[in-house]
């Protein structure tokens, strides 16, 4: 029955549906742990249909990066451009910044989960894919995207320097350390939101509440007492 439903999809729609299914499995279980058979079963199609579109899971991996990575880079570049002109009042900007991050992570949750969880293995996976498919993949490692292409650490540091120059960041703090704190706090928390170790995964409202509490902690740590809004 599901094969019949899938057969009604146009070729491009079918390929995208398979990519989404494969990406979710890869993010949850890891690339090495999934098989073409599992992808087909989860997608609800026969292996024959799956192989009509993708000869192996390495081709799927290449297509995932070709499809998602440019969109993620574009989305986060827009966010960083916003930071360049963001007001320096951390009482207002930090909650707003967190919401902007949440919106983007929610849009690319499974891709970002995979990117962070298997970042050290991604170059190896893509190298194997290149050899199998005789193609050359771009470098889409976590380090490459966030720190070399987007220069996220430099953008954050410049922002905190502006905050400090205007008296909105404590003088005894280094902007570079503030950047490390924010990135180490937000990225793992947001990316791993479906994988909280206790209880059921948080719904959107619960997750936003967790982020707001984290923001409050950062505000108390970063903002000079006379500028802090309680």
Give me the number of domains the chain comprises: 2
CATH of the domain at 154: 1.10.357
**Residue 195 in this model has a pLDDT that exceeds 60:** no
Q: How confident is the model at residue 49 (pLDDT cuts 50, 70, 90)?
A: very high
Residues 87, 35, single domain; the answer is no
Distance between CA atoms of residues 40 and 31, nearest Å: 15
In a domain, 18, yes or no: yes
3-class DSSP state of 201:
coil
Q: How many CB atoms lie within 10 A of CB 165?
A: 11
110-132, pLDDT tens digit by residue?
998 888 788 778 878 878 877 77
Find the domain containing 119 and state its range: 69-227
Same domain, 50 and 89: no
Query: Span 11-18, mean pLDDT?
Result: 85
- Relative orientation angle of helices 57-84 and 152-165, to the nearest 10 degrees: 20
Does residue 137 sit in the same domain as residue 184?
yes
Q: Do 181 and 100 share a structural domain?
A: yes
**Helix, strand or coil for residue 55?**
coil
* Residues 168/88, Cβ–Cβ less than 8 Å: yes
Question: In this predicted structure, what is the pLDDT of residue 191?
Answer: 55
Question: Residue 59 domain-assigned?
Answer: no
List, for residues 129-163, the tens digit of each pLDDT value: 777 776 665 655 556 676 677 788 899 999 999 99
**How many CB atoms sit inside 10 A of residue 122's CB?**
22
63 within domain boundaries? no
Q: Same domain for 102 and 4? A: no
Residues contacting residue 68 through CB under 8 Å, at least 6 positions apart: 23, 108, 111
Euclidean distance between CA atoms 225 and 230, whole angstroms = 10
What's the number of CA atoms in the CB half-sphere (13 Å) around residue 221?
A: 15
Do 82 and 189 have their domain in common? yes
Judge whether residue 197 has pLDDT over 80.
Answer: no
Q: What angle do CA 50, 45, 14 make, to 5 degrees?
A: 60
Positive or negative torsion for Cα 85, 176, 111, 108: negative
For 54-93, write each residue's pLDDT tens digit.
Answer: 999 999 998 998 888 889 889 988 988 999 999 999 999 9
Query: Considering the domain boundaries, does residue 60 fall inside one?
Result: no
Do 168 and 103 share a structural domain? yes
pLDDT value for 166: 96
On whether both 128 and 186 belong to a single domain, the answer is: yes
**104 and 24 within one domain:** no
């Amino acid at each position: 029955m599901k094969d019949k439903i899938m057969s009604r999809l146009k070729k491009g729609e079918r390929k995208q549906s398979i990519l989404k299914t494969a990406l979710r499995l890869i993010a949850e279980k890891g690339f090495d742990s999934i098989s073409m058979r599992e992808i087909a079963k989860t997608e609800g199609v026969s292996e024959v249909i799956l192989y009509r579109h993708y000869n192996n899971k390495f081709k799927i991996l290449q297509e995932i990066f070709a499809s998602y990575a440019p969109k993620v880079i574009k989305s986060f570049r827009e966010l960083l451009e916003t930071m360049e002109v963001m007001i320096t009042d951390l009482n207002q900007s930090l909650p707003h910044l967190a919401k902007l991050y949440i919106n983007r992570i929610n849009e690319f949750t499974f891709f970002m989960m995979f990117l962070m969880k298997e970042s050290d293995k991604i170059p190896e996976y893509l190298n194997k894919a290149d050899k199998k498919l005789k193609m050359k993949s771009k470098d889409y490692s976590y380090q490459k995207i966030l720190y070399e292409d987007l220069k996220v650490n430099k953008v954050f540091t410049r922002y905190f320097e502006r905050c400090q120059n205007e008296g909105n960041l404590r003088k005894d703090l280094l902007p570079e350390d503030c950047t490390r704190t924010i990135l180490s706090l937000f990225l793992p928390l947001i990316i791993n939101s479906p994988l909280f170790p206790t209880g059921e995964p948080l719904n959107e409202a619960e997750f936003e509440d967790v982020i707001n509490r984290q923001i409050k902690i950062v505000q108390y740590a970063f903002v000079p007492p006379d500028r802090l809004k309680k």
